[in-house]
Amino acid sequence: MGFSEEVRGAVETIRNAETVSVISHIDADGITSEAIVRTAIARAGVPVTSHFVRQLEPLTMKAVPEDDSLKVFVDLGAGQQNLLEERGLSKEEVLILDHHVAQPCEIPYQQVNGVPYGHTKLSAAGVAYFVAKALDPENIDLAKIAIVGNVGDMMARETLGLVGLAAEIVEDGVAHGSVRVVRKDLNCYGTSTRPVHVCLSYNDDPRIPGITNDMRGAERFLSKLEITPKTADGRYRVWEELGRDEKKTITSALVQQLLANGESVDRLFAESYLFVDESERSPLRNASEFATLLNACGRWAKPRIGSSVCCGDRGTVYREAEYMLNNHRTIIRELLQFILDTGVTELSHLQFLHVRDRYPDTIIGIGAGMALGKLNWRKPILIMCTLPEDPSMTKVSMRTNEWSVRRGVDLQAVLTAASGEYGGGGGGHPIAAGAFIPREAEEVFVNRVNELLRDQLA
C-alpha cells in the first residue's frame, strides 16, 4: 500500500462514519490539522466534534469520548497505539492521521502516515490536507492552513523551504490564490510584523557578526545603507513592505558581511509563504508568524481559539488570539530575564536551572532556547520546573544549537536514556528535547545527563 491508497482508505472510512470525534495536539501542527480535518468532515456532511490534548498518555486518554463515533487521531496516535488498544478501541472505530514513527500493537489500526513511504518532510497538517483534498477537491482553500502547520512543525527549516508532498500543497495554495511564494526571501523570522532592524538582530541562522543579538548594530547597518527606517507617519517599516531595490541592497550587504567574516551564505535566503488575503503587517500575514500565534494559543491552553482563527474568525476570537500572542511574548521575555538574573549552575558539559512553579512547563523550553544565546552557548542548557497537576513529577526541557549538534550532541538521546533510568520518559530532537522525571531524582538526573553529554562529545 502507498500513501495515496492510505489517503483513499481514510476518505472511505470518514464517508461511512455516522459521527466523528477528532483528537488532536495543542501545537501549531496539531491545531491546523484539527481545523483542516474538522472543516473537511463537516463539509462532507458528517457531524464532528474536537478534543485537544497536550500529549497522548494514560491521563489524557479520558479526553477521548466513550461513544460510537469514529475517533480520528491527528498529529498523535501513531506512537501511542498501545494506549488505544488498552482503552479497548476496536480497529473499526479508529483512524490515525500522523507523521510520527508508528509503534505498532496487536490491532492493525487504520493509518495515514507519510513516514513509511519516505515522506519525512510532511507534517500532520499535510497528511490531513491530502485527506481533505481527496474528500473534495474544493478543499484546496485549506492549503494555506496546511502550510502553516508544516512550517510550524519545522518542515521547511533544514531545506530552507517546503519540499516533496508539502511543496505540492504550496502549489495548490498558489493556484487557489491565497498563497504567494517568495522563492529567495530573507531567511528571517518576523518579516511581516517586526521593524527590519529588530528582525535582523533576532536572527542567528546565520549568525551575522555585528548584527545578530545587537539591535543598535543592526540599526547602524541599515542607516549606512541609507534605508529609511520609518514611514512618513513615524511607524517602523517591516521587511515585507521594503521595495525590491532596498531588499537587494540589504541582502547584498549581508552577503558581504558574512563573506568578510569567513562565514557561509548558505542559510541567508529561504523560501517564504505570504498570505495575500490577510492584512499587511498582521501576524497572520505569513506562515511562520501565523504558526507562532497558534502556538501561543496552544501553550496557554486555548487551542480552540487558534482553531477558530484557522477557520477564518477575524472578530472577537481573533482579538483574543492576538492577546494570547502578546501575553505569550511578555511572559517569555520575563522568563528570559529571570533565567539571566538568577543565573545557571554550570557543570562540565551542561548548564542548568530550576524555575519551580514560577513558569508553566509549556514555555520553559522556549525561554531556555532564548537564554542560550546570551549565556555560554557552547554548553547545552537544561531547565526544570514543577508540574502543577502532579507535584511528584518534574518537567525538564533542554536546548542546544547547530554548533553543538554538529559536534555530536543529541539531546533527545540523552534525555530519553537518562529519564528512562529513573522511571520517567522523554523525547524530541537532537537540538531540543524534553522529559518528565520523578521529583526526587532531580539531582542524580542532572548529573547523569552531564555524564551522557560528556560521552557524546568524547
Q: By the criterion CB under 5 A, which residues form the site for Mn ion?
A: 29, 75, 123-124, 153
What gap in Å lies between CA 402 and CA 207, rounded to an integer? 11
CA dist 405 and 409 (Å) reads 5
CA pseudo-torsion sign 327, 149, 191, 432: positive
Q: How far is the CB of 48 from Mn ion (least distance, A)?
A: 20
CB nearer to Mn ion: give 26 or 41: 26
- Compare residues 34 and 278 and give the one whose CB is closer to Mn ion: 34
Query: In the complex, what is the shortest distance from the CB of residue 223 to Mn ion, in angstroms, rounded to a whole number?
Result: 41
Find cell 502553516 and name the residue: 148
Number of H helices, E strands in the chain: 16, 13
Closest separation in Å from C-beta 33 to Mn ion: 7
Nearer to Mn ion, 6 or 75 (CB): 75
> Which of residues 26 and 258 has its CB atom nearest to Mn ion in the complex?
26
Provide the minimum distance between the beta carbon of 362 and Mn ion in the complex, in angstroms, as a whole number: 15
Longest dimension (CA), the chain: 67
d(CA 414, CA 199): 33
CB nearer to Mn ion: give 16 or 103: 103
Provide the minimum distance between the beta carbon of 30 and Mn ion in the complex, in angstroms, as a whole number: 6
Tell whether the torsion through CA atoms of 180, 186, 189 and 193 is positive or negative.
Answer: negative
Beta carbon nearer to Mn ion, 150 or 400: 150
Q: What is the gyration radius of the CA atoms in the chain, in angstroms?
A: 22
- Residue nearest to Mn ion as judged by C-beta position: 29
Q: Are 23 and 53 in contact (CB under 8 A)?
A: yes
For the CB of residue 151, give the shortest distance to Mn ion in the complex, in Å.
11
Q: Which is nearer to Mn ion, 153 or 271 (CB)?
A: 153
Could you give phi then psi for residue 395, rounded to 5 degrees?
Answer: -95, 135
User: For residue 419, what are the CA distances in angstroms to 170, 394, 424, 445, 446?
Assistant: 39, 11, 5, 7, 10
For residue 74, the minimal CB distance to Mn ion (Å) is 9
